[in-house]
Structure 1
Amino acid sequence: MSKQKNPPAYGGQAVVEGVMFGGKRNYVTAIRRNDGSINFFKLPRKADTKLAAFKKIPFLRGILAIIEASANGTKHLNFSSERYELDPADDETLEKEEKKGSGLSMFFSIAAIGVLSFLFSKFVFTLVPVFLAELTRPVFSSDTAQIAVESLFKLILLLSYIYFLSMTPLIKRVFQYHGAEHKVINCYEQNLPITVENVQKQSRLHYRCGSSFILFTIIVGMFVYLLVPTDPLWVRILDRVALIPVVLGISFEVLQLTNKVRHIPGLKVLGYPGLWLQLLTTKEPKNDQVEVAIESFNELLRMEEISAENRQPSHVVI
């Protein structure tokens, strides 16, 4: 079969022993329980009319999309981490405890934790390389050299963090589910029947991956920082903090651009750096992991169809 010309842009995220997929109107997570069964966690995608207009503005839409993805992703990750080792017979007890803890307030607390965790990690990966680069100023004194060294330290810190994280058994399996998520999306975009056999034939890499986005923040940041001074240190720190939204917004647009030109010879290489990083953040999944990803995606498609028939309001954030 031929590729779909304009397939809906579905996104996803690997969770503990499962995969989350998001569409225009819904989010669905499927996880493999310890008894071999597959359970789902489903949430409607709420349309915020107040923010809808801002989500169409280049650069600003990227920041809003990142915040939304961090908030929603944490909810689904929390569901998977709570239940993947829990005996299914104990689900009812857990749900009662969650209700006692005021479901709505807990729901928003988890979302807030996700956003704050992202911001904290962004501050760490932004500022630690600044101090490390500053130590080399006696050797690399110019602004350009300092920015290059800072970017190099940032890249080393990122790659080291991912590499050592991937060596843990739990994260290695999460990265396998990450690969399964990409394979399902690639299979869908190739307009092929979504079977385990077809999915396993696909690449575990995808141009629209969040891993690519992270790498683009390093590349984009290097060029943005050329516009501001690196000395004195306190000015450099303030500049880096103030420019975080700018770097995030531009990086999101670069990610979108590389996805749009990925089928154009000569331009598809723009996305290669992000794909190379995905060689670390994804692993080849096993068939049973692909089955979970397929179940999650098929359930999302079913819910999206029902939502469309009911004409629920929607907005698109990739």
Structure 2
Amino acid sequence: MSKQNKPAYGGQAVVEGVMFGGKHHYVTAIRRKNKEIDYFRLPRKSSSSLTALKKIPFIRGIAAIIEASANGTKHLNFSTDRYDLDPEDDEKLNEPKKESKLTMILGVAAIGVLSFLFGKFIFTLVPLFLAELTRPVFSSDLSQILIEGLFKLILLLAYIYAISFTPLIKRVFQYHGAEHKVINCYENGMPLTVENVQSNSRLHYRCGSSFLLFTVIVGVFVYMLVPTEPLYVRVLNRLALIPVVIGISFEVLQFTNKLRDVPVLKWLGYPGLCLQLLTTKEPDNEQTEVAIASFNEMLRLEKETEEGIKTEQIV
């Protein structure tokens, strides 16, 4: 099966593990405290309205984020609840959550799709007000939009760079790299061994990190269509245009992914790949093993479901 005909599987790094999603199932594999690999399996369910929205260009991006957030929360909670807990103490999971555990969950969510919409408000409004402070020097609409985009980019890079130094986030970024390596290995038609997976790139055109960067770039062009004065109008425009920027950015992400094997045009996705140099790190062999285990389990469940569907159709 060629790379173009392979299913476009996606994934998400969690605490001490990786989640992969197929057409019918989501699977998370994590490394437990006793070094064993534990799994969380969840059938993929989507409302008919959400499924319909995911087929409409420029709207499907927002629908995809909503679905990913809803499903990702359960997998993130699974990983944060268990990764540092001995399997013999799993009964403690029924105890009330400690504040430190909740804080940890929120900290990890801040780099994923769970906090995307909340973060988008912050990364939209803060650069706006910073740019407005420069209006005495840069007074034209175009200069304000460019300065605003520059502040947004600086804020995004500084935030990712700062959190990458924390031990927990650094390991999440390593699992993020392992997730990409597994998908690249699979799409390249190579057997999913640790050696093969490690030989693949930790960067991938379809990554959510690229999506974040595209929202910055797309925003600059979209904001050129609306006024920047007075300030309250500028604020309202930015908030109202968040869905528009997200929708267009998702289409740009899909477009660059389709062109990744086309000479010259593949460069369109390079800005997003460069950002992934910050949001992914090289995983070790044990982390890669967890990512492979998650992907293989997802493939197994997908195969069983497809065979069951075919059997039902025959009967």
Report the TM-score, using the length of structure 2 for normalisation: 0.91
CA distance in structure 2 between the partners assigned to 1:288 and 1:209 by the alignment: 22
Q: 2:184 aligns with which of 172, 186, 190?
A: 186
Residue in 2 that maps onto 1:106: none
1:268-316 CA-partner distances (Å, limit 9, x unpaired) = 000000000000000000000000000000000000011112229xxxx
Q: 1:248 aligns with which of 237, 246, 249?
A: 246
Residue in 2 that maps onto 1:305: 303
CA distance in structure 2 between the partners assigned to 1:166 and 1:180 by the alignment: 16
- Structure 2 CA distance for partners of 1:116 and 1:242, relative to 1, 3 Å: farther
The letter of the residue matching 2:40 is F
Residue in 1 that maps onto 2:198: 200
SS at match of 1:42: strand
- Structure 2 CA distance for partners of 1:140 and 1:176, relative to 1, 3 Å: same
- Structure 2 CA distance for partners of 1:115 and 1:160, relative to 1, 3 Å: closer
Residue in 1 that maps onto 2:53: 54
Does residue 144 of structure 2 align to residue 126 of structure 1?
no
Q: 1:273 aligns with which of 271, 274, 286?
A: 271
Do the aligned residues in 1 keep the contact of 2:72 with 2:114 (CA within 8 Å)?
no
The letter of the residue matching 2:169 is I
CA distance in structure 1 between the partners assigned to 2:3 and 2:202 by the alignment: 19
Superposed counterparts of 1:116-265, under 5 Å: 117-265=115-263
CA distance in structure 2 between the partners assigned to 1:10 and 1:142 by the alignment: 44
1:52 Cα shift?
2.2
1:171 Cα shift?
0.5
CA distance in structure 1 between the partners assigned to 2:148 and 2:254 by the alignment: 26
The letter of the residue matching 2:175 is Y
The letter of the residue matching 2:35 is G
Which one is further off, 302-311 or 179-188?
A: 302-311
Do the aligned residues in 2 keep the contact of 1:71 with 1:115 (CA within 8 Å)?
no
SS at match of 1:311: helix
The letter of the residue matching 1:307 is T
CA distance in structure 2 between the partners assigned to 1:282 and 1:262 by the alignment: 19
SS at match of 1:227: coil
Alignment coverage as a number of residue pairs: 296
CA distance in structure 1 between the partners assigned to 2:3 and 2:257 by the alignment: 15
Do the aligned residues in 2 keep the contact of 1:28 with 1:42 (CA within 8 Å)?
yes
Report the TM-score, using the length of structure 1 for normalisation: 0.90
Superposed counterparts of 1:82-121, under 5 Å: 82-94=81-93, 96-97=94-95, 117-121=115-119
CA distance in structure 2 between the partners assigned to 1:115 and 1:216 by the alignment: 15
CA distance in structure 2 between the partners assigned to 1:259 and 1:211 by the alignment: 13
The letter of the residue matching 1:244 is I
CA distance in structure 2 between the partners assigned to 1:77 and 1:116 by the alignment: 9
Percent identical across equivalent pairs? 74
CA distance in structure 2 between the partners assigned to 1:173 and 1:245 by the alignment: 31
SS at match of 2:309: coil
CA distance in structure 2 between the partners assigned to 1:177 and 1:224 by the alignment: 34
CA distance in structure 2 between the partners assigned to 1:54 and 1:171 by the alignment: 33
- Structure 2 CA distance for partners of 1:46 and 1:56, relative to 1, 3 Å: same
CA distance in structure 1 between the partners assigned to 2:88 and 2:294 by the alignment: 22
Compute the RMSD of aligned alpha carbons: 1.7
1:118 Cα shift?
2.7
CA distance in structure 2 between the partners assigned to 1:144 and 1:187 by the alignment: 44
CA distance in structure 1 between the partners assigned to 2:189 and 2:130 by the alignment: 48
1:93 Cα shift?
4.0
CA distance in structure 2 between the partners assigned to 1:22 and 1:5 by the alignment: 18
The letter of the residue matching 2:67 is E
1:33 Cα shift?
0.5
CA distance in structure 2 between the partners assigned to 1:92 and 1:310 by the alignment: 34
Structure 2 unmatched runs, 5+: 97-108, 311-315
CA distance in structure 2 between the partners assigned to 1:198 and 1:64 by the alignment: 34
Residue in 2 that maps onto 1:101: none
1:73 Cα shift?
1.5
Residue in 2 that maps onto 1:103: none
Structure 1 unmatched runs, 5+: 99-110, 313-318
**Structure number with higher relative contact order (C-alpha < 8 Å, ≥ 6 residues apart):** 1
